[in-house]
Amino acid sequence: MHSQKWVRYFAESGQEVHWLSLSPFKQMCPDACCYALRPGGSHPIGVVASAPAARRLVRKIDPEVVHVHYLGAYALLALLAGRRPLVATAWGSDVLISARSPLKRAVVKAILGRADLVTCDAEHMASAVRALCPGVRRLEIVNFGVDTAYFTPGPADCSLEKQLEVAGCPVVISLRNLEPVYDVGSLIRAAPSVLKQRPATRFLIVGSGSQGGELRQLARRLGVERQVRFVGPVPNAQLPRYLRLADVYVSTALSDAGIAASTAEAMACGLPVVATASGENHRWIQPGRGGLLTPLRDPDALATGILWLLNNVEAGRAFGQVNREVIETRNNYQVEMAKMLALYEELAQG
């Protein structure tokens, strides 16, 4: 979604945009030219196999700027394409986790050293970038941003309430994918304690991933399978409908870059947040004003935070208003993309 949002913004604002991907995709923006390079996918050998086609395309397009998102397979492809000026955007796990592998670390260091501009969305990521490449040419903080005109507070969709069987119930929602780094299992383990005091509560688990089957089994083993709804993946454009059903948003991530897009979208919709104290959540979620921060892998603390918000509805509403203001002022999609456009123009002019 991050790449799609950037492509849409610049294409719809009149820039000529070409997107080269190693995966098949649906045409996401009629104003952009999209190419699927897939002789070998994102495996290093596949990336090398894709490099000649990428080089030919780049020569044909003759872009003023090349921008690589996520410093993994696409960083290697950008290095092999050999075009500058080059912008590299770190997303989080690429510099915080994946770079621990010697091979991936070598690719990350190479792209950081070659890039004319590196962007990321958190100060601790900027520190990680400088540690990997002390000689990085230029480093800027640019947030991915939330479309605050679309992600807004609003009334619950009655038809969706009925479909999910949550009408009249307190609703707790998670939008994190079902992967180990997001630790959705801690939320499911917190559910019995919440339900003991607030038995009408329902939990919406929105997302998909490799742990889907395991997490469903966990819910059954804990006896909460009726109260926990595994919704599956939801298109980004539909997320406000789901967020407006909820009373509390929860993020159990073990690692985040800056503010996670899903957390920021929930905040823009006016929800109070219970989140782990990972990444830079403390810079975005004001404890006691916008939400509550809990230790990693601590279902008991998570349950305590959820119950406090469910039992203090007016405070939760006030927290949601604070969160909305935070995103409007500090993580506005239009503002952040305008900042990026100015950087592109500066690079293109040499």
Q: Looking at residue 265, which CATH number applies to its domain? A: 3.40.50.2000
**Are 342 and 304 in a shared domain?**
no
Mean pLDDT calculated for residue range 68-84 = 93
**Are 56 and 118 in a shared domain?**
yes
**Are 200 and 315 in a shared domain?**
yes
Tokens of 101: 């592998």
Residue 44 has pLDDT above 90, yes or no: no
Q: Is 162 exposed, middle or buried (0-12, 13-18, 19+ CB in 10 A)?
A: exposed
Which residues in the chain belong to E strands, given as ranges? 18-21, 33-36, 66-69, 86-89, 117-120, 139-141, 171-174, 202-206, 228-232, 248-251, 273-276, 291-294
**Are 166 and 307 in a shared domain?**
yes
Residue 27 has pLDDT above 80, yes or no: no
Judged by phi (left if over 0) then psi (alpha if -120 to 50, else beta), residue 231 lies in: alpha
Residue 185 has pLDDT above 80, yes or no: yes
**Are 211 and 191 in a shared domain?**
yes
**Are 138 and 238 in a shared domain?**
no
Query: Based on the structure, what is the number of domains in the chain?
Result: 2
Tell me if the bond preceding 85 is cis, omega within 30° of 0.
yes
**Are 320 and 178 in a shared domain?**
yes
Residue 37 has pLDDT above 90, yes or no: no
Which pTM value belongs to this model?
0.90
Mean pLDDT of the residues in the chain: 94
**Are 311 and 171 in a shared domain?**
yes
Residue 43 has pLDDT above 80, yes or no: no
Task: Write out the residue range of the structural domain in which residue 228 sits.
Answer: 158-330
Mean pLDDT calculated for residue range 150-166 = 97
Answer yes or no: are the C-beta atoms of 181 and 256 closer than 8 Å.
no
Answer yes or no: are the C-beta atoms of 123 and 88 closer than 8 Å.
no
Q: For residue 261, give the 3-state DSSP assignment.
A: helix
Nearest to 91 by CA among 129, 64, 63, 65: 129
User: How far is it, in rounded angstroms, from Cα 230 to Cα 212?
Assistant: 9
**Are 257 and 341 in a shared domain?**
no
